[in-house]
Chain A
Amino acid sequence: AQSVTQPDARVTVSEGASLQLRCKYSYSGTPYLFWYVQYPRQGLQLLLKYYSGDPVVQGVNGFEAEFSKSNSSFHLRKASVHWSDSAVYFCVLRSNTNKVVFGTGTRLQVLP
């Protein structure tokens, strides 16, 4: 069975600081991995995705994520956060049988 763990329920950083949101997955096959962002009272929006190839993938608004097979991780990063990045971030895994598993989300608060 597959699973996704986001160990940090809440992360608080100051505007302009760097950011890393952690994601660990458990899956025996080749995972398809995604990061979604949810702004208040909105649906989820795709930030970036990884299928194969370069383990560092670029997304929208300066976000990137790095896939590590050895660590079973897919951490999200941003060099300098803005207050508008405050939102809930979900790491998502899709198996090769199209089973989709969502992490429980990390709420990011950016302090001005």
Chain B
Amino acid sequence: DMKVTQMPRYLIKRMGENVLLECGQDMSHETMYWYRQDPGLGLQLIYISYDVDSNSEGDIPKGYRVSRKKREHFSLILDSAKTNQTSVYFCASSLGAHSDYTFGSGTRLLVI
């Protein structure tokens, strides 16, 4: 079953704590993405990864960094989380930048 898996599904962190969001895919897709979804704003691209150790900033990278050491895993890291990073984070993957996306189910992050 081809899928994108995100862990954890729900997370509560205090302001200033570090946050690690994990994403895995079993389709050997080259390209992976991190988006955040906020009410009234749709999805905004944080980072895109074209393959292992080949990452590029998206539209809103500030306050985030990513790591991709294996093709099937793409992590989003928040160093010293802020309350305005409370959001739903979606990971997606695609065979290439031209291909359709497969989305994970999201991680709902609350920073208090």
Contacts and interface: CB of A to CB of B under 8 A. Distances in A.
B42 A105 contact: yes
Nearest to B41: A104
A41 B105 contact: yes
Interface residues of A, number: 18
Nearest to B33: A100
A104 B103 contact: no
A71 interface: no
For A43, A46, A90, A100, the residue with the greatest tally of chain B CB atoms inside 10 Å of its CB is A43
Decide if the interface of chain A is mainly helix, strand, loop or mixed: strand
A103 B43 CA distance: 8
Contacts of A34: 100
Interface residues of B, number: 17
Nearest to B106: A43
A98 B103 CA distance: 17
A42 interface: yes
Interface in B33-78: 40-45
A100 B105 CA distance: 19
Interface of A: 4, 9, 34, 36, 41-46, 49, 90, 98, 100, 102-105
